[in-house]
Amino acid sequence: MTVLEQLTIDPTSEDAANVPLELVGGAYAVTAFSTPTPAPDLRWAQPSDADGDRLVAARYQNREIAIDVEIVPAPATGPLDAQSALARLADKLAKVNREGGTLRRELPSGDAITFDLLTADPIDPAWDADWAAAAVVRVALRFTARPFARGTQEVRSVHSETTKPVLVFTESAIAGDVPALGRLEVTDRSGADQPWCSWGMQLATHDPAASAALLIEAESCTLLSGAAVATVSGSSGGASRNAVTVSNLNPAWTAVLSTQASGGGAHRTHVGEYRVLARIQWGGANTDTNTVAVRLEWALGDFGAYTRNTPVTYAGDELRGVYSIVDLGIVSIPAGTSRWEGRLAARSVAGSSAAAWVPGDDLTIDALWLVPTERSGEARGVTQASTVASLTGRDAFDYASATALNGCRAVPGGAWSSGGDADDFTIDTTVHAAKRTAIGDLYGSGPTGRWAVLPPTKTDTAVQVDVRFSAVPADWNSTDMGVLARFTDIGNYAYAVLDPTGIYTATASAFRVGLRIGAFPVLLGNRYFFPQLTVGQTYTIRLSIDARGNWQAWFGPQGALPAKPTLSGQSSYLATGGPLASGADGIWEWWYTTQAATRYYDNFSAWVPAPDAAVFGSQSAAFAHDGVVREDLGGTLWTPVSRYEGDLLTIPPSGTPARTARFLVKSSRSAPGEGVDAAIDPIAAQLTLTPRYLEVP
């Protein structure tokens, strides 16, 4: 047979803790070695409407490896040396059967391949005439291994992006004859947590032409219906910050942008299936009572017949005035198609049958990108505000006497401290809740109202309370009731509040998250509810903030908070070094109206939440062939991501056509449709791959 450089069971190249057993040299000599190609296991279907069978599934069976070994002891030791060599061999085979193992073959050329061993057959050493004549013991080793052999691991170059909304890069010369094992390590370089991170890869459908680019900047497209290129703060492109804006959307669906290159240029020439996402924002001069919707319309060839994907709707003030990511659905372009076109359509309609449509909604499109579904996936950090790392305050307001809340002691949490308007919260011993009936709260440089907070001062915090009200005043924008966080005084705090009367209309209720920094108010997010919320119904408000300034807020009926945050985002004011980097938790209300109502607060809780992200700030996540993991907040541990949907990473070989694999990577401070894509955060990615082989030498 071909002279072997070495055969090693459990080499240290696989694991430094391995105890290797070398089968070439010392007491061992290999006389025969075979690794026959495993047979395919094919599954066929028999369609009733076509001739012949159809291949519906294919896989390879395990590989059987045969090694014939001669044990040739040193003359001086003879049987003792042979017995020792046999014992080492038997121990190694037993280990393979217990735990699995690896077999590495190194050729004289320096190339090496590794087989993953699953089981080993028992051995039956031959103490025959050869032993008597030449002191040689023959042993037949038989292993069952995984179908494919692995080549040498390759660590590719680091790719980075700082100004575009996605990172796109290519990798060539992918060796092997079956898909390689991959590990795509994505690193945040902004310092901000990335709750969502996605990737896509294509090889068979990769086209390097500009008309098949995965990233499409909006300003490079054909503009429709009065759309225009403008410089918009927060847009991609570095210093240029160009985007496309459309003013005064109307109630009829209107195409505002075509993927055809600007000036009647080239149409798109992609082939394959893609998920289309876009970075957009909407706003304008209306009264926030409208509903804005966008959708993708696309067609093969000309636009004579086209597909309308499912619209994405933004109600009231949802994600108004901020960039967010929208998932526009799937496009599928079969091979042989000469061109295709997509059009982004939008409209603005009244938010409810009780409201009148008001013109003035605008739409801004920064960019679109196509995620290949050939291989793709997305990781999410599951917001862990419901996971209590450390409970710091709790009060069911179950006190024996109807006293003012100030000075009452929560367990845990200590004594309540309250202030602001003169009328304190009081304890209702009948319904066991804190309540307030005062009207006409002050409004100086901002709402004053009445606040009550518990120690201690915290950085990472979550706070929650149940609220209900006995009446809804007729005058709007005159009430707030909810929770405080990062409170230092009545001029400096974060809040999440319910306004039963809404802001711009008396037909809606509003849920708001915001800050007050001295005389400077900051509205972080707003959500409207049509019609108004129900009198006497108990609702839960929850606000969570971490040290990096990430915030999430939930609102819903008691016992039925949504799994996803109602509002979310990030603010530098809440991050370490900001003016609201720490503070106390509590409750707050401002009842400016002179119309009476009783407001109840119950089941107050405050705790330290467990942080989570797909990629923590300045750390990495890895999408690999054997799972998806991320570094923890401090970069000391790798643990599985909380949620992953998609493919495990294997990369088809380049093959004889010398094909190139193209990757797209995007991370964001919010998942599509769930919050603000607050910035173009710098990102890096690096591919590590291990070629695999069906046919081996």
What is the C-alpha to C-alpha distance for residues 655 and 694, in angstroms, rounded to an integer?
13
Q: Are 248 and 359 in contact (CB under 8 A)?
A: yes
Q: What is the pLDDT of residues 105-116, one digit of tens each?
A: 998 888 899 999
Distances (CA, A) of 657 to 84, 174, 227, 374, 508: 52, 11, 43, 18, 62
- Strand partners for 600: 435, 468
Nearest to 663 by CA among 169, 164, 197, 275: 169
- List the end-to-end C-alpha distance of the chain, in Å, as a whole number: 12
Pick from 222-236, 346-360, 488-502, 652-666: least confident: 346-360
Predicted confidence (pLDDT) at residue 503 exceeds the cutoff of 60: no
Predicted confidence (pLDDT) at residue 507 exceeds the cutoff of 90: no
Determine the average pLDDT of the residues in 393-401: 95
pTM attached to this predicted model: 0.84
Distances (CA, A) of 651 to 126, 375, 669: 45, 9, 28
Pick from 175-179, 289-293, 450-454, 647-651: least confident: 289-293
Q: Are 66 and 140 in contact (CB under 8 A)?
A: yes
The reported pLDDT for the residue numbered 545 is 93
Return the percentage of the chain with pLDDT > 90, whole number.
70
Predicted confidence (pLDDT) at residue 149 exceeds the cutoff of 50: yes
The reported pLDDT for the residue numbered 240 is 80
Determine the average pLDDT of the residues in 531-536: 87
Omega into 657 within 30° of 0, i.e. cis?
Answer: no
The reported pLDDT for the residue numbered 447 is 64
The reported pLDDT for the residue numbered 658 is 94
| pLDDT band, very low/low/confident/very high, at 168 (cuts 50, 70, 90) | very high
Predicted confidence (pLDDT) at residue 76 exceeds the cutoff of 90: no
Q: What is the pLDDT of residues 555-574, one digit of tens each?
A: 999 999 988 889 888 787 89
Q: What is the mean pLDDT of the chain?
A: 91
Determine the average pLDDT of the residues in 128-155: 86
Q: What is the pLDDT of residues 412-461, one digit of tens each?
A: 999 999 999 989 999 999 999 999 999 999 876 566 889 999 999 999 99
Predicted confidence (pLDDT) at residue 40 exceeds the cutoff of 90: yes
The single residue listed with the structure tokens 């004011």 is 573
The reported pLDDT for the residue numbered 357 is 85
| pLDDT band, very low/low/confident/very high, at 670 (cuts 50, 70, 90) | confident
More confident residue, 530 or 510: 510
Predicted confidence (pLDDT) at residue 467 exceeds the cutoff of 80: yes
Determine the average pLDDT of the residues in 594-622: 94
Determine the average pLDDT of the residues in 462-484: 91
More confident residue, 210 or 477: 210
Query: Which domains, and CATH codes, for the chain?
Result: 6-147 (2.40.30.200), 151-204+375-382+612-697 (2.60.120), 209-373 (2.60.120.260), 384-610 (2.60.120.200)
Omega into 609 within 30° of 0, i.e. cis?
Answer: no
Predicted confidence (pLDDT) at residue 304 exceeds the cutoff of 50: yes
**658 exposure class (CB count in 10 Å sphere: 0-12, 13-18, 19+):** exposed
